[in-house]
Structures are given as structure tokens and as C-alpha cells.
Structure 1
Amino acid sequence: MRVLITGGAGFIGSHLADAYVERGDEVFILDDLSTGSIDNIRHLRAHPRFHYTIESVHHAPTVAELVDQCDVVFHLAAAVGVKLIVESPVRTIETNVHGTEVVLAQANKKKKKVLIASTSEVYGLSEDVPFREDGNLVLGATTKGRWSYACSKAIDEFLALAYWKERKLPTVLVRLFNTVGPRQTGQYGMVVPTFVKQALSGRPLTIHGDGSQSRCFTDVGDVVSALIGLMDHPGAVGEVFNVGSSEEVTIQRLAERVRSLTGSASEIVHIPYEKAYGEGFEDMPRRVPCLDKIHALIGYRPRKSLDQILAGVIDFFRDAPTCSTRSEPLPE
């Protein structure tokens, strides 16, 4: 099979490329390197079944050419990370909405199957935990820029489902919950790599708020397996799936686990949301997925525990010591 991955030089995209190349498929990636990195795919560049194009997903002629060459499309290119979303809401909205418009329009010409990566952020302020795919989305006020990302990804979902219902373009939607693993950077506010780098360098582990907010972290390898399984299954077309883990942990406990696993003496400090992201920032107290739907279709269950995930990230940064001391923005 020939596979196109937009955002293929990013954290998840590069691991997805690895899996398809290893499976024996031919992989084409498109990335403008705005948040991805050539280092993530350097090991693949000489492989005969791997091809990469450095260009924006907004460039319709390039997208059209790549779509024509491929059998299926993974659309992962997006503006990601709380820091980027808060600081650059225009970029967030334009990147997410227009990029998806271009990919769907070009895929529709040849009816190529498309998987769109959405996010658990679309559940917003909902308190109906665990989140089910058919549950209500509860977004905050439009005056709070934090919700521009969630809204833009919800529009992506509406558009992809509309292409399926109206134009019979086979589309699959996945809502990703806090994917972590090697190659992920803390540059845009991702909490696990930020905590690990802080711990390894002896700097304070910085928590926003009181640390009682909880998340479920999923290994990137488990997520990649889920994405491939959904792309391969005809029953996934026209549906929305949560992809994540149900192992819930508070951010306070996460910081303590990172400190323990690294053997660090770093202190844990708390920083008000207002100081990190500005006045009026809102966060979700819990973000837990219901995984019944994806398990029923493809048998998905995450394989790695939180400690195993953290150990992998710690090993990755220990093997790249120059990265561990780099100053990073505050975590999500």
C-alpha cells in the first residue's frame, strides 16, 4: 500500500511512518517543519520506500500530486500544544481548518480514504466522564482563546463527516488523548517531556494550578497501532473513535512519578494558570476516554502502563543529553 502522512515529520507522524515502512508499505510524507523536525525522519531518508516533501499542507497542487500517488491519507498536520494555541490563535485556526479543507477536497477527487486526527480537546468543559464519542461537546466562551483549538478541530470533524455523508468520501475520525513517547518535544507545552527534561537537568518541575487536574497518557506505539487498525477496517468509515488510555493520573502525581523514576532531587513548584497563559485561562479537571467503541471494532487496548511510558521517554532524553538541559516553556 502507498500511504500519505501529512505532518509526517512530527512526533506521531514519524512513528506512523516507521510502522508502515517496517510493514513493507511505501510511505510519502508532507510537512512544512513548523512544529515537526527533520531529525524525526532522518533515519528513514535513505530507505527506498520512504519519500518526503517539505511543503505546507495548504499548498493544494502539492497535496493533489501526493494524494494521486497514494492509496490512503493520514491527515495529522495541525497546530498543536497549549502554548502555541494561546499565543497564536490565528495560526491555529487557519492551519487546522484550511489544511483539512485542502486535504479533503483533493482526496475527494479520487475518493481516497482519509483518517483525520482530532483531539480530546473537543470535549471541552464537559464533566460527563469518561468521554464517549456520541457525548455532548461543551466549549468555553469565544472570548477565551484557549478554545480556538478545540473549535477548529470540531469543525474539522464536521467537515470530514459531511464529505462522507454528502460526497461518499471514506473518512475516519480519531480523537487522540495525550499521546507521549520518544521524539516528543516539550517546546509547545507538552507536559511529560517537559517534566522529564526538568528532572534530568535538576530544574524545578513546574505544575500549572494545584496539580489536581488529571489526564490519561498513551504510548505513541499503542496509538500508531490503533490508527493503522482503524485505517485497515472498513467498519471505521464515517465514525469517530477515542484513542487513548484509561489509566488516569493527576499532574501532581505525574510530577512525583517522573522525579522518582529519574532519581531527581528537583523540587515541584506550582504556577498559577494566569501567570503561564494569561488572565482567564480555563482548563479541564479530568480528561478520560471511553474506549468501548474502538475495542469493539478492532480489539484495541493500550499495552503500556504509565511507568513504562515514562521510562521510555526518560531513556530517550538520557540518550540525548544536549536536549535535556534546553530551556522549555511551561507544561500543559
Structure 2
Amino acid sequence: MKVLVTGGAGFIGSHLVEALLKKGDEVWVIDDLSTGRLENIAHLEGNPRFHWCGGTVLDKKLVAETMAHCELVYHLAAAVGVSYVVKHPLKSLITNIRGAEVVLEEASVERKKVILFSSSEVYGKGNCVPFKESDDRVLGPTAVSRWSYATGKAVDEFLALAYCREKDLPTVIVRCFNSCGPRQTGEYGMVVPRFVTQALLEEPISVYGDGQQSRCFSYVGDVVRGVLLLADHPGAVGEVFNIGTDEEITVEGLAIRIKEITGSCSPIVYVPYEEAYGSGFEDMKRRVPDLSKIGALVGYSPSISLDELLVLTVNDVCQKLDVAPPRGLPVVESPSVFVGCG
């Protein structure tokens, strides 16, 4: 199959592109490298079925020309990371909303299926845990930039569902919950690689807030596997799916576990939200997905535990820092994303 991946040089996107090529697909990638990196896809450049386009999804002409080659679109191009969004709210909104609009509009010309990547951020401050796809959303005030990302992603979902209902465009929406793993950086506020890097360098591990906020950190390979399953299933069209893991841990507990796995002597320090993100920042206490919908349709369940994910991340960060892995670090093999596919 011929496939377009927007944001294909990003963390999740590069893993998806790699999986599609292994599956035998021909892949075109659009990415403006605002948060993506060429090194994520450098190893794919010699593959004759890989086509790097660069550019931006805001360029309608480029999107139309590239989409003309393809039968299926995975739309990941977006401003990502709490830190990036708080610092660049206008650019984030324009990229996320207008970008999705361009992709959906061009895809509708010849009814090419679109898999749209959304985020658990759309649930906002909801406290009905675990979150179901049909739950109400609870957001903070518009004066707090943090909620602009959640709003932008929700608008993307509304657009995708409207195109599906009014234009008969096949769309599938996936809400990712804290996807992590090799290639992810801590540059834009991603907590796992940031903690691992600090631990390996014996620097203070900076926990924002009191550390009692909890998250479910999902292995990127599991996310890609689930997305591929949904893309192949006709029953997924017009639907929204949570994807990730439901193994929950507090951010403080994450820091402690990373210290244990790395054997680090780094102290854990607590940084007020105001110092990390500026005044008025708001966070949610828990974010846990209900995975029953995706499990019932395609049999998805996560295959990698949190400890295994952390080991894979430690090995990846060690390679980047050019340091030896901690003594006694367990051996964890990355499972194939095609287990359970096809």
C-alpha cells in the first residue's frame, strides 16, 4: 500500500514509518522538523520505498501533490509537548487545527482513509477514571495556555468526524496516552527521557509539582501496533479509540523507579509549576485510559510493562550520551509491532 505519514520524522511517526516499510508499504513523509528530527529516519534513507518530502502540512499544494501518490494517510504532524505548547500557544493552535483541516480537505477529494492522532489531553481535568471515549470533557479557562492544546486536538477530532459524516471520508481517531520509548527526547517536556537523562548524569531529578499526579506511560511499539490493527479494521471507521496502557504510576513514583533501575544517586527535587511553566499553569491529577473499546474491536492489549519500557529507554539514552548501561540492567527485547496484526 502507498501511505502518507505527516509528522513522520517525529518520535511516534518515525516508529510508524519504520513499521509500515517493514510491512512492505511505500511511504511518503511530510515533516517540518519543528519537533521531529532527521536522525529519527536517517536509517531509512536507503530504502527505495521511503520518500522524504520535508515541508509542512500547512502547505496545501505539497499535501495535495503528495497525497496523490497515496491510498492511506496517518496524520501525526502537530505541535507536541506541554513545554512547547505553553511557550508557543499560537503556533501550536495554527499547526494543529489548520494542519488537520488541510489534510482532511485534501483526503476528501478522493476519499482516502485518514488515521488521525489525537491525545489524552482532550479529557482535560476530568476525574472519572479510567477515561472512556464517550466521557464528558472538563477543561480549564481559556486564559490558561495549557488548555489550548486540548482544545485544538478536540477541534481536530470534530473535523475528522464531520468529514466522515458529511463527506463520507473514512476517518479513525486514536487518543494516545503518554507514549514513550527509544528516540523520544526530554526537550519538549517529555518526562521519562528527561528523568532517565538526569539519573544517568547523576543530576537532580526535577519533579514538577508535588509528584502525586499519576500517568500511564505507553510503549511506542504497542501504540504503533494498535494503530495498524485499527487501520486495517473496517469497524474502526468513524470511531474514537484510546490507545496505550493502563498501568498507572505517580510522577514521584516514576522518578524513584528510574533511580532504582539506573542505580543513580541523583536527589529528587520538587519544582513548583510556576517555576517550570510560568504562572497560572494547571495540571490534572490522574490520566488513565479505559482500553476496553480497542480491545473488543481488534484484540489490543499492551505487551510491554512499565519496567520494560524504562529499560528500553535507559539503553536508548545511554547510546545518545555515549555511556555504558548501568551494571545489572535487565535485557529487554523490543517485541515486533506485527504481533497480533494481520
Q: Same fold (TM over 0.5)?
A: yes
Residue 105, structure 1, aligned to residue 105, structure 2? yes
Quick one: which amino acid aligns to residue 236 of structure 2?
Answer: A
What secondary structure, in the 3-state scheme, does the structure 1 residue paired with 2:301 have?
coil
What secondary structure, in the 3-state scheme, does the structure 1 residue paired with 2:275 have?
helix
CA RMSD of aligned residues (A): 1.0
The aligned residue for residue 82 of structure 1 is 82
The aligned residue for residue 40 of structure 2 is 40
The aligned residue for residue 317 of structure 1 is 317
TM-score scaled by structure 1? 0.96
Residue 234, structure 1, aligned to residue 234, structure 2? yes
Unpaired segments ≥5 residues, structure 2 = 325-342
How far apart, CA to CA, are the structure 2 residues paired with 1:278 and 1:320?
Answer: 30
Q: Residue deviations 1:82-103, cap 9 Å, x none?
A: 1111111001100000000100
Unpaired segments ≥5 residues, structure 1 = 325-332
**Identity fraction in percent:** 56
Quick one: which amino acid aligns to residue 19 of structure 1?
Answer: A
Show the 5 A alignment for 1:45-60. 45-60=45-60
How far apart, CA to CA, are the structure 2 residues paired with 1:16 and 1:276?
Answer: 31
The offset of 1:129, in angstroms, is: 0.5
How far apart, CA to CA, are the structure 2 residues paired with 1:222 and 1:34?
Answer: 25
How far apart, CA to CA, are the structure 2 residues paired with 1:319 and 1:152?
Answer: 35
Q: Residue deviations 1:12-46, cap 9 Å, x none?
A: 00000111111111111110111100000000001
The aligned residue for residue 272 of structure 1 is 272
The aligned residue for residue 209 of structure 1 is 209
What secondary structure, in the 3-state scheme, does the structure 1 residue paired with 2:22 have?
helix
Residue 196, structure 1, aligned to residue 160, structure 2? no
Quick one: which amino acid aligns to residue 217 of structure 1?
Answer: F
How far apart, CA to CA, are the structure 2 residues paired with 1:153 and 1:202?
Answer: 37
TM-score scaled by structure 2? 0.94
Show the 5 A alignment for 1:275-294. 275-294=275-294
Decide whether aligned partners of structure 1 residues 150 and 323 sit closer, same or farther in structure 2, where only a CA change above 3 A counts: farther
The aligned residue for residue 172 of structure 2 is 172
What secondary structure, in the 3-state scheme, does the structure 1 residue paired with 2:188 have?
coil
Quick one: which amino acid aligns to residue 31 of structure 2?
Answer: D
The aligned residue for residue 133 of structure 2 is 133
The offset of 1:322, in angstroms, is: 5.3
The offset of 1:11, in angstroms, is: 0.4
Quick one: which amino acid aligns to residue 211 of structure 1?
Answer: G
Aligned residues: 324
How far apart, CA to CA, are the structure 1 residues paired with 2:317 and 2:287?
Answer: 27
The offset of 1:320, in angstroms, is: 1.7
The aligned residue for residue 299 of structure 2 is 299
